[in-house]
Amino acid sequence: MRRIVLIAACLLLSCGGDERPVLVDLPEAPGALFSGADDEAAVATVGGWRITEADLLAVHPVRSGATLAESLEVLVDRAVAVQEALAGEFEPRFELRLAWRKALARRWVTRRFTEEFTPETIPVEALHSVWEVKWFLWDHMNTYYVLDAQVICCHTHASECDAAATGACMDENLDMMENLHRVLVEEGVRTPGDFHRVREAFVAAHGVPVAGMQYAFQYDHSKPYEEQRGYDLYDRGVVLAVKDMAVDTFSPVVRSDHGLHILFLDRFLPEVHKTFDDPEVRAEIAGKSYPAFQEKEAAEEFSRLSTSVDIALFPKILEQVDWLQVTGLGKAFP
């Protein structure tokens, strides 16, 4: 396959002496940019070149706000001009060469990192590296994600709590928590955001110590609370209140060994036990991780290209460029 050089280190207007510019090559085959598959319908033809939808999208929009029809019109005009330029004995003007190279590079990037690099082509070793870190997403007990509006009366281990003092604290704050529960009902809270908002507004209005916490725990429904093993387990009162709740609902006021709680079930993941050998697991890892792998693949490829291409920089030539005309930004060199 013909090598396409992507790095333009010198924008050539005129070069003299022994200095050798490094430019993005014009395609050896004039229609190289327009290389859609034979089964792709052409949206336009210019001489023997077929412009497909993929070719059009590689340069669209040609300017901010341009429609597809406008981009196609400009692309056809450029193709006609490039054909004429390549057929003659003169160099295409600077703007035309630059536009051609940009379009060619964009088409190459699209093919290399989207059409040729897909979730299905990610190496198994790369997928397994994700599994080693995220395995618990596919192998876990029933998992509950909880928001907790709470008043904590004992901040040590339950066995060290003063039962009388803890009980008195909960009795003292019970009416206040019941009032918060009534407000949640009246507001019709059904989302985590609303649960946070109502709690914060209640605290601000009444100056009460109702904290907001967020956590997750697992629970095996086939065993009683006392036999749960192998994962984080929260206070008995909290767990037993949450385990049968529906997602996006909140509990009445719940007593734990440490205080009072109103619990909102944000998310629930049912028990599942899958392995990396499961095709569905690999497909899900590939789908979710594809953007990160795509970015990594692009970074590695451009790093390889930048070290394999002989790059030369010619500041004196760059000083001759009319930057105001080319970019609209003015001259970039003193």
96 shares its domain with 153? no
Q: How do residues 145-196 score in pLDDT, each as one tens digit?
A: 999 999 999 988 878 889 999 999 999 999 999 999 999 999 999 999 999 9
Tens digit of each residue's pLDDT (9 = 90 or more) over 18-50: 444 333 444 445 455 555 556 677 888 877 777
Structural domain for 223, as ranges: 139-273
pLDDT at 125 over 80: yes
**pLDDT over 80 (residue 226):** yes
Among residues 49, 3, 6, the alpha carbon closest in space to that of 28 is found at: 3
Q: Is residue 125 part of a domain?
A: no
Mean pLDDT, rounded, for 262-286: 94
334 and 245 fall within a common domain = no
Q: Are residues 145 and 104 in the same domain?
A: no
Question: Which two structure tokens, joined as six digits, stand for 251?
Answer: 């509990």
Q: Are residues 154 and 268 in the same domain?
A: yes
Distance in Å from the first CA to the final CA of the chain:
42
Residue 281 inside a domain? The answer is: no
Residue 282 lies inside a defined structural domain of this protein = no
Q: Among residues 226, 254, 273, which one ends one of the domains?
A: 273
Domains in the chain, number = 2
Query: Is residue 202 a part of any domain in this protein?
Result: yes
The candidate with the shortest Cα–Cα distance to 52, out of 70, 28, 76, 30, is 76
The helix/strand/coil state of 165 is: helix
**Can you tell me the mean pLDDT for 4-10?**
30
**Cα–Cα distance list, 100 to 42, 80, 82, 83, 131 (Å):** 19, 12, 8, 11, 43
Given pLDDT bands bounded at 50, 70 and 90, which one contains residue 136?
A: confident
Q: Is the pLDDT assigned to residue 238 strictly greater than 90?
A: yes
- Is 22 a domain residue? yes
Residues 206 and 265 reside in one and the same domain: yes
Question: Which of 273, 290, 319 is the endpoint of a domain?
Answer: 273
Q: For residue 229, what pLDDT band results from cuts at 50, 70 and 90?
A: confident
Residues 322 and 225 in one domain: no
For residue 126, tell me if it sits in a domain: no
Same domain, 264 and 315: no
Of 273, 300, 318, the one marking the end of a domain is 273
Would the pLDDT of 332 be above 90? Answer: no
Same domain (yes/no): 144, 227: yes
Q: Does the residue 57 lie in any domain?
A: yes
Is 303 within the bounds of a domain? no
CATH number, domain containing residue 201: 3.10.50
φ, ψ of residue 45 to 5 degrees: the values are -130, 140
